[in-house]
Amino acid sequence: MEHQAPAQNRQGPDPAHDGADVARGAATNALALLAANFRGVFTFLIARLLGGAALGSFSLAFATTDLLSKLGTFGLDTATVPLVAQRQARGDTGSSRRILRIAVVFGLLASLAAAAAGIGLSRLLGPWLGQPAPLTQATALMLLALPGIALYRISNGVSRGFRAMRHDFFSRGLTETWVTIAGFLIAYALGLRVLAPVLAVVVGTAAGGLLAFWLAHRLLARAGPAAAPAPTAREVLGFAAPIAGYSLLNILIMRMDVLLLGLSVGRVPGLSLAGFGVFCAAVEVAGGLRKVRQIFDPIFAPVVAARLIDQDPGPLREILAKVGRWVLATQLPLVGALALAGGLVLSVFGPGFRDGALVLLILALAHAANAFVGLAETVIMIRRPALNLLNSALTVVAQATLSLLLIPHFGAIGAALGTLFAYSLQGALRFFELRVVFGWSWPWRSLRTPALAFGGALAAGLGPRLALSGLLGEAVGGIVFLGAYVLIWRALGLSAEDREALRQAWSPKRAQKG
């Protein structure tokens, strides 16, 4: 897949800076994620202004669009990260420019084809499946967002290959988020109602995609000629193909609960469109746990890609241990807070949403497990992407089978349990693949401190949660848990390597790129 550049052009990665680069990149990504999380305001506005039924319709349309977006990007949003990172490690910026051109042209063509096919199918299958006309119309219209999604994701993949993490903050965190919110409010004020959030997504993704492309193109504007031989379209697409396959399956796994439950509305006793909207709100909140991985993954992938130029597995396992510990330490307080105060969090969406607290707990465990073990997927992807395709295919079959058995009897809880089982199975397969590919298992000992802090804090929070009833018990339990988690971490202290990574991350001598 990769050609060796001439010896004089090679610039091998420096292991001493891997941890600092990840820490610095994660800090920038956290800022981008914080800005992007204002997208939650968009969901909140839909629920408040249009109601649970409208939120359910929008969520089903968005899930369909998100699924088809994987056909539009063809895995190039992920494949460009290691492709560019390895070229940059060898000093070959010219090849990176060629990769951007190949990926963007193919991605736009593929996304336009996916949009056209999706619109035709939604018009054909919607009435046959008994879906309401507004839902079919919203789904078809939202598919027009696919080219903007492809342009944003692929362009940011190239930027991440350069370890330029700030581009995501500007294109998605600021531009896409606020253009979408403003577009929704304008469309709502004009009386479009149900179609208002759909049009807002189309406009917002287009704005974010154009800015992301401009930022990536600016990085490469002064690049020299590509080192011979330059990457061909066949090489780029060949590497991306298995990634496209398992990315599509992964998004199907992530959205299957919404898709299957949405198709069951009115067919399963007690499952109304409003109840489906409550489930979608729980999915939205629990899905925030996946975003913890998004803090680390954009910088983790290029660091791993550059590290795999070498044959020594020691530094790779070391950086995996560090990042795994950081992901878990960031994720566990969110899991505990949702476990103790899930009803309180959902009540923000409006009356009746608090009923989804149990569903939220199950989904929180599922998405937390997926975000953590997803680091193994990134490592495997760069060396053996076909293995990720295999385990995702097995997971889809298992989840679909279990969900179709549980949803008719348990409704929303059955859909949530199907998701939890799917992510647990996928995680087990990824751990097994690590041993197959690299000959070593996950560095479990590195997780001791966050596990101890979580266990102690959860025990402290359960007391007031059980002693006090209602929202008061949830609020006090959650606050006690978070306070205890911070205090226990403070008592245990950071490891020497974590302190060193943070020190280097804030060193002015190594300013962040981008």
Out of 35-39, 46-50, 468-472, 478-482, which region has the weakest mean confidence (pLDDT)?
35-39
- Spell out the alpha helix ranges (H) of 162-232: 166-168, 177-189, 196-220
Contacts of 89 (CB under 8 A, 6+ apart): 10, 11, 12, 13, 305, 306, 309
**pLDDT higher than 90, residue 458:** yes
- Are 173 and 35 contacting, i.e. CB atoms less than 8 angstroms apart? yes
Would you give the DSSP letter of residue 169?
Answer: I
Alpha carbon distance 416, 275 (integer Å): 14
- In this predicted structure, the answer to whether residue 510 has a pLDDT above a threshold of 50 is no
User: In this predicted structure, what is the pLDDT of residue 508?
Assistant: 47
pLDDT digits (tens, 9 = 90+) for 376-407: 888 888 778 888 888 889 999 999 999 999 99
Residue 3: pLDDT band by 50, 70, 90 thresholds? very low
Lowest mean pLDDT among 20-24, 172-176, 331-335, 408-412: 20-24
Domain boundaries, the chain: 16-224+232-505
pLDDT of residue 292: 74
* 291-340: pLDDT as tens digits: 777 777 767 777 777 666 665 566 777 778 788 888 888 889 999 999 99
Contact assessment for residue 482 and residue 338, using Cβ atoms and an 8 Å cutoff = no
Quote the pLDDT of residue 512: 43
Per-residue model confidence as pLDDT tens digits over 334-376: 999 999 998 898 888 877 888 888 999 999 999 888 888 888 8
Per residue in 58-105, pLDDT tens?
Answer: 777 777 788 788 888 888 888 888 888 877 777 777 778 888 889 999
The residue-averaged pLDDT of 277-300 equals 80
Average pLDDT, the chain: 80
Instruction: Kindly tell me if the per-residue pLDDT of 133 is higher than 50.
Output: yes
3-state secondary structure 126-156: HHHCCCCHHHHHHHHHHHHHHHHHHHHHHHH
End-to-end CA distance of the chain: 27
Rounded Cα distance, 458 and 308, in Å: 39
**Of 385, 383, 88, 94, nearest in space to 231 by CA:** 94
Which 3 state secondary structure label does DSSP give 296?
A: helix
* Cα–Cα dist 481/475, whole Å: 10
Whole-number Cα distances in Å, 440 to 318, 320, 375: 12, 12, 15
pLDDT of residue 91: 73
| Mean pLDDT on 171-190 | 84
Give the pLDDT confidence score for residue 33 in this predicted structure: 62
236-249 pLDDT tens trace: 888 888 888 887 88
pTM for the whole thing?
Answer: 0.68
